[in-house]
Amino acid sequence: MNIIKPSKLKKGDTIGILSVSGGVSGQNEINKAKEFLLAQGYRVKISDTTKKHFRYMAGTDRERAKVLENFFSDDTIDAILCSRGGYGALRIIDKIDYDIIKAHPKIFVGYSDITILLAMIYKKTKLITFHGAMAKGDFGQKTINRYTKNSFFNTLEKEQKEFTPKKDFETIRKGKAEGILWGGNLASLVSLAPLDFVPDEDIILFLEDLNEPIYKIDKMLTQLLNIPKLKKNIKGILFGDFLDNGNEEQLKELMKEVSDGLKVPSSYGYRITHGKEKDTLPYGIKAKFDSITGLVSVENGYLK
């Protein structure tokens, strides 16, 4: 199956703000995100699930799966921006008609719980999606981080080819690697472990998480690496932020242990994060990685 590239984002395009995971409390941040996107020269359509609640989710499983399908099949929508993460994506992955997504490829962006959809959409369709900013937590805030804004539009409008770590990044294990950019939120990836979700290609794995103590990060990494296919396919690792982990020294020890065990190059300190300053990365595209410089360079175009 060949990769599918969505079309570049252009001024005047319609961006759909989609709630497909956790419920949204109040509409202020969604409205602010809409105002921000309108000011950037885009039209905006908001899913009705931003106002729906089923327990802690943005509507029932069927409602959330259906609205995802509808946003892909709606040809008046050019790109889809998830409103937030939370929890709920895992409950709908067996209810989605992936043929609809494959027949109507378009930009799809999110992180955190949305990692589950990025991974499954790539596995089922080979559509290049994007791990990056979301409506509520990034573009719905009073102050919008300039780096996050620039990365979002540079990636989706201009097809940015090189991604660099923070100035204070650290090389964990020296070397170079090639593979598709793939990964995301560690806890979300682990939740897919019983399913067929691992790509068949070599992987440059990128990871991040929030509010997880070291022993849980250890447990989740161990669980992932107990999947033979994934362990075999990982050729390099980009460690993003593991915010509020409780022990930074032990985190770095764990990163080195994992990297040495896999014998792959790795670096720590990428803007792959729940924090304010984040990169928007193409998900599933082939790239090269140099852990000494920290540079990640995309080999081929990922947008039409």
Instruction: List active site positions.
Output: 112, 208, 274
Q: Whole-angstrom Cα distance, residue 205 to residue 125?
A: 19
Q: Whole-angstrom Cα distance, residue 30 to residue 11?
A: 20
Q: Whole-angstrom Cα distance, residue 33 to residue 26?
A: 13
Question: Residue 165: what residue type?
Answer: P
Query: Are 238 and 270 in contact, with CB atoms under 8 Å apart?
Result: yes
Query: Are 4 and 128 in contact, with CB atoms under 8 Å apart?
Result: yes
Q: Whole-angstrom Cα distance, residue 235 to residue 296?
A: 13
One DSSP character per residue, 61-78 reads HHHHHHHHHHHHH-TT--
Reduced to 3 states (helix: H, G, I; strand: E, B; else coil), residue 120 is helix
Interhelix angle 248-262/214-225, nearest 10 degrees:
10
Beta bridge partners of 44: 15
Beta bridge partners of 113: none
